[in-house]
Amino acid sequence: MIRTNRAPSPSRREFLAAAAAAPLGPAALAALATAAPNPGMTVRTRVGTGPISIASGNGLRACTRAVELLKQGADPADAIVQGVAIIENDPEDQSVGLGGLPNEEGVVQLDASVMYGPTHKAGAVAAIENIKNPAAVALLVLRRTNHVLLVGAGALKFARLHGFQEENLLTEKSRKAWLKWKENLSPRDDWLDDEQRDPTVGKAADPLAAVTPMHTTGTVHCSALTAGGDLASCTSTSGLSWKIPGRVGDSPIIGAGNYCDNAVGAGGCTGRGESCIVNCAAFSIVSKMESGMEPTDACVAVAKRIAAHTLEIRRRAKDGRPDFDVSLYALRKDGAYGGACLFPGGTFAVHDGTAGRTLPCTPLFEKN
């Protein structure tokens, strides 16, 4: 049996019955109806035993903020989106929002989604440029449209109409990382590699020398459970670094990088988005919890499915295992939670209402 982190839990039947017996109350409906154009706090009146939030390893500040807001009575979608905004606004986190690593043309394109348990509704934006808080835009798509996903120029226009300010999201650090990747792409193009540059611009003097040109797939995921038993989940990312312009990953795809079911739990993923899309990863996590699996077991089972479905030779290392990593996160309706990854090293963050901490994800494979 795989280790499970959990609050004292009722049986699956008990929590499904409790969920069915707790429909959206008038206060919650009123709160949703009056949601502000710009994401603010929507006050909820239901009370319960204590809120909890989990996040990807880079999201400890996000889930800590989410729990703080939940304790003040915030709606879970507002709480996680405001938590995620802390990471989106941090220029040092190059996986999301401001300072996110750009596409192959040096342009930052962001993806995000929010799913709201009480209405089983979702909102998402993909390949949006110049807006550092795509999760907040996704929440407005959820609350103020009949749609789920807006992309590119349409998503930007929608954000501007709702008062979001455009800004350049490419920080110096991310621009230098992109330039180094570009210069080292091929020795046959006219961009001089590290090895090809004139010796007077030696490596020691090269301001880009320390920057890695590797493709990376960082992302922030955060989900929350209120004291009253409602769930919401959010995933936000700058996606795969140096991607083909217009490439969309799993983060804004409901069921791939983000999913929640108010009667069961929430799931989310970070890492190679293409693999999460073709394995319906976030949906699968929730589905496995619905059929009785513990959260960590559910995440490991989906990690196993991703590894088994990695059939492209070019995406497999010499030992046949995937040449990439994915981390998966689960928060169950009863407060139990867990995380898994393909290879050791992945972490997830949790705030259980008392304290926040970062924990290791359970790896599918022993080492890479």
Q: Which residues are catalytic?
A: 219
Contacts with ligand GLY by CB under 6 A: the residue count is 13
Place of tokens 């996606």: 239
| Residue 250 CB contacts under 8 Å (≥ 6 apart), including other chains | 235, 256, 257, 269, 273, 274, 276, 277, 281, 282
> Is residue 250 close enough to count as binding ligand GLY by CB under 6 A?
yes
Of 159 and 240, which CB lies nearer to ligand GLY in the complex structure? 240
- In degrees and rounded to multiples of 5, residue 16 shows phi and psi of -70, -40
59 and 185 in contact (C-beta within 8 Å)? no
> Is residue 257 close enough to count as binding ligand GLY by CB under 6 A?
yes
Of 250 and 261, which CB lies nearer to ligand GLY in the complex structure? 250
Q: Which of 339, 328, 336 is nearest to 305 (CA)?
A: 328
Position among 82, 94, 103, 251 found at the interface with ligand GLY (CB under 6 A): 251
Of 74 and 248, which CB lies nearer to ligand GLY in the complex structure? 248
- In degrees and rounded to multiples of 5, residue 275 shows phi and psi of -70, -35
Stretch that binds ligand GLY, among 43-51, 71-79, 244-252, 341-349 (CB under 6 A): 244-252
What is the distance between the alpha carbons of residues 129 and 246, in angstroms, rounded to a whole number? Answer: 11
> Is residue 217 close enough to count as binding ligand GLY by CB under 6 A?
yes
CA atoms within 13 A on the CB side of 117: 32
Shortest distance, position 239 Cβ to ligand GLY, whole Å = 4
Shortest distance, position 101 Cβ to ligand GLY, whole Å = 11
Of 228 and 267, which CB lies nearer to ligand GLY in the complex structure? 267
Position among 76, 97, 229, 249 found at the interface with ligand GLY (CB under 6 A): 249
CA angle 119, 125, 129 (to 5 degrees): 155
Enumerate binding residues for ligand GLY (CB under 6 A): 217, 219, 237, 239-240, 249-251, 257, 270-273
